[in-house]
Amino acid sequence: MPSATTDTAASAPVTPAVPTGTARKKRSIAPAALLVLGVGAGIGSWQLRLGSLQHPEPGLWPFAISLLVAFSALILLIRPGDDPVEQWTRKSWSIGAGIGILAAFILLFGAVGFLLPAALTLGVWLRVFGGESWRSTLVLAIAGPAVLYVIFNNLLGVPLPDDVLLRAFS
Amino acid sequence: MDTISNLGQGFSVAFDPMNLLFVFIGVVVGTAIGVLPGLGPTATIALLLPITYTMDPTSSIIMLAGIYYGSMYGGTITSVLLRLPGEAASVVTTFDGYQMTKQGRAGTALGISAIGSFIGGTVAIIGLTFLAPMLAQLALAMGPAAYVALMVLGLFLVTSLGTGSTFKSLCMAGVGLLLSTVGQDPIDGSARFTFGQAPLLSGFDFVAVAMGLFGVAELLRSLEQTEKAQIVKTKIKNIWPSRKDMRDSAGAMGRGSVLGFFIGILPGGGGVISSLASYAMEKRRAKDPSRFGKGAIEGVAGPETANNASSSSAFIPLLVLGIPANVVLAMIFGALLMQGITPGPQLMTEHSDLFWGVIASMYIGNLMLLVLNIPLVGVFIQMLKVRQGILVAFSLLIVMIGVYSINNSAFDMWVVLGFGILGWIMSKTGFEPGPLVLAFVLGPILEKSFRQSMLVSGGSLEIFVTDPASAVIFAAIAVMILAKLFGGRLKTRQSRPATTEAHADGEDPATAIAPNPAEGPEQPRPTNSSDAPANTEQTPEKVPVSTRSGTP
């Protein structure tokens, strides 16, 4: 999504109307993936049977849409366009780490409840990505999950899974 | 008059103490996120969707609407003071608003924006009050074929008005429609694309998709940004504009209200387009256009009025036809669906409390914003001190619990993370999530209307031509496609002179903001959603847009 980045985009050198070489190849990855999606969904819908316009089977509607996806992806493959695309930077790796943390949170959440994984997630995130001091990291990582727990579990009535920490203390 | 008595009933709903509280929460949160870096209206509404699930439908829509128009006020503050547009529609305000700040007139710029926003918003709500019932009558007479046509029009406008490549948007709309078919077939209930996963039988949850694409994706993106928080040093004084300032801006506000109102009604309208159009209009009308970009007060008053007018009138297609005009409204649409209410022409009669209550709350909300903004600007600016890392970390946790709370299943947490990753990759590769989400919301209704049309017509596609309403709409789409094809060719032919002109006129931000200089001046290209600036923001002046997604 567009938003910000624009700053980089604006200052980036103007790309030629039809990118060539590696630039073109890079721009073809997404359309190629979309083409695969379109064709795959098309085959899947075909297997669901199409039926007729008056008596459509489950596959007819998705099949029509698959054609749309495949068609537009094909055009994008042929004409990748020249609109500015964000650069991948070393910082992009930190996003991979962020995703990893969230995945770990979800796994732990199912296993030991909310409080512990939330405190760990906050701790790592605030210290590593937020660059907070140890003191404010500790305060926020301990107080934060407790406040959220009270808001969601007690005030909003969200039944959070059985919590290991709470069981240990009660 | 009937409308008046209905509105009276609406006010009795809106003046309910709980609802008053929710309007207040909505406009304060809206203003705050307009100011805060890191979150825009789309992301915020996405984050709050699970909470609204537990609320009364009317209160939840009142609050979400407040967030939407409140963010339009809030975005202005940082545009004027720091040249950081809080959301896309405020980009235009940076041109003259920031110049006014440099000249020590920050207070006046903020004051006139608040007054303009109030006037624009109120004019649009009055229009909404009287136009909506008439349109609903009209819409009730429409058959399924006309509905198909309307939705195709909505999707078409969203894809073709988008800033990015049309085919990219088209492709995303296709993906959105495809995703909406996952689950059970609406007629015979057989499973489609569920890959044997039981949770997928009910399809992807809209909230999880929206929270992933807008919320999580935007929060992840913030890890890539290196912006440091900025501190406002400007002293704000003389917020209440002088009589001369008011006289200078009155015309711009009047024109902005009307222009914004009509642009907002169009599918794909709202926000950015209206503020750009108003800026272009004011500049063209001015006796001395060279003042623009150097602190012309009309350049602040007009666009600010227009963007608030359009964000209010954008509720018309949603509440009357059941078609969300932009991404933020698609979120509100999703919120209504979650409550078991399908927006459409029946809304006004079947849920008249909600319909009129929301409209009445908008009058109140705008008044609250005027009162809040004039004396409290300083308080909101303090929020800029909240550190990004803290905001992001807590928002992510709230997303996770929020999405879990919808079905009490960890499966939805994986869905939200998956769509978060997808959204981030899309932003990297220049695909906009707006058309995807809009298509995802419209998908099931479109399929249903299409199948109904086929039943009515006995399997003949001719129904789309023989049904008068559908024929008119499809003809309009055809005309627009032709205009785009030929217009595009004409422009390419003229691109040389136009480019030179644009360069010669380099100071002109309205020109600059058109992504393609060949488009020529005074022809800003709109984006598809009220808060989706996309590359609109690449002005040569390099307006630094904060990391905030205000701008999904």
Predicted confidence (pLDDT) per residue in A43-55, tens digit: 998 888 888 887 8
Q: Of the candidates B225, B388, B400, which has its C-beta nearest A4's C-beta? A: B225
Residue ranges of alpha helices (H) inside B162-297 are 166-181, 206-210, 217-221, 243-265, 272-285
The pLDDT score that the predictor gives to residue B504 is 36
Angstrom distance (rounded) from CA B544 to CA B83: 7
**Closest residue, chain B, to A17 (C-alpha):** B516
Q: Which of residues 108-147 of A touch B (CB under 8 A)?
A: 109-110, 114, 118, 121-122, 125-126, 129-132, 140, 144-145
* pLDDT classification of A102: cutoffs 50, 70, 90: very high
The pLDDT score that the predictor gives to residue B3 is 83
The pLDDT score that the predictor gives to residue B493 is 56
Angstroms from B5 CA to nearest CA on chain A: 36
Residues with Cβ within 8 Å of residue A146, at least 6 apart in sequence: A115
**Contact criterion met (CB below 8 Å) for B89 and B75:** yes
Tell if the CB–CB gap between A129 and B404 is shorter than 8 Å. Answer: no
* pLDDT classification of A14: cutoffs 50, 70, 90: very low
The pLDDT score that the predictor gives to residue B33 is 82
- Neighbouring-strand partners of residue A51: A56
Q: Of the candidates B174, B216, B428, which has its C-beta nearest A72's C-beta? A: B174
Find chain A residues with C-beta within 8 A of B552's C-beta. Answer: 1-3
Could you list the pLDDT tens digit for every one of the 552 residues in chain B? Answer: 588 888 899 999 999 999 999 999 999 988 888 887 666 788 788 888 888 877 889 999 999 999 988 888 888 888 888 887 766 777 888 889 888 888 888 888 888 999 999 999 999 999 989 888 888 888 888 888 988 888 888 888 777 765 567 888 889 999 999 999 998 887 777 888 888 787 888 888 888 888 888 888 888 887 777 555 566 666 677 778 888 888 888 999 999 999 999 888 876 666 677 888 899 889 888 888 888 888 889 899 999 999 889 988 988 888 888 888 778 888 898 888 888 888 888 888 888 889 999 999 999 999 999 888 877 777 777 777 777 788 888 888 888 888 888 788 888 899 999 999 999 999 888 888 888 988 898 888 888 889 888 888 888 888 888 888 899 889 988 888 888 777 666 655 554 443 333 333 333 444 333 333 333 333 333 333 333 333 333 333 334 433 333 333
Angstrom distance (rounded) from CA B498 to CA B264: 29
Angstroms from A165 CA to nearest CA on chain B: 17
**Contact criterion met (CB below 8 Å) for B552 and B529:** yes
Find chain A residues with C-beta within 8 A of B433's C-beta. Answer: 1
The pLDDT score that the predictor gives to residue B84 is 75
The 3-state DSSP class for residue B191 equals: strand
pLDDT at position A164 over 50:
yes
Angstrom distance (rounded) from CA B549 to CA B432: 13
Tell if the CB–CB gap between B220 and A99 is shorter than 8 Å. Answer: yes
**Contact criterion met (CB below 8 Å) for B253 and B111:** no
Task: Supply the pTM of this predicted model.
Answer: 0.79
The pLDDT score that the predictor gives to residue B81 is 84
**Contact criterion met (CB below 8 Å) for B361 and B315:** no
pLDDT digits (tens, 9 = 90+) for A119-161: 999 999 998 888 888 998 999 999 999 998 888 888 777 778 8
Find chain B residues with C-beta within 8 A of A131's C-beta. Answer: 389
Rg of chain B's alpha carbons, rounded to an integer?
22
Q: Tally C-beta pairs within 8 A across A and B.
A: 247
Find chain A residues with C-beta within 8 A of B391's C-beta. Answer: none
Tell if the CB–CB gap between B538 and A84 is shorter than 8 Å. Answer: yes
ipTM over 0.90 threshold: no
Q: Of the candidates B51, B425, B454, which has its C-beta nearest A56's C-beta? A: B454
Inform me whether the C-beta atom of residue A52 falls under 8 Å from chain B C-beta atoms: yes
* pLDDT classification of A16: cutoffs 50, 70, 90: very low
Angstrom distance (rounded) from CA B329 to CA B337: 12
The pLDDT score that the predictor gives to residue A13 is 41
Find chain B residues with C-beta within 8 A of A65's C-beta. Answer: 174, 177-178, 181
The pLDDT score that the predictor gives to residue A138 is 92
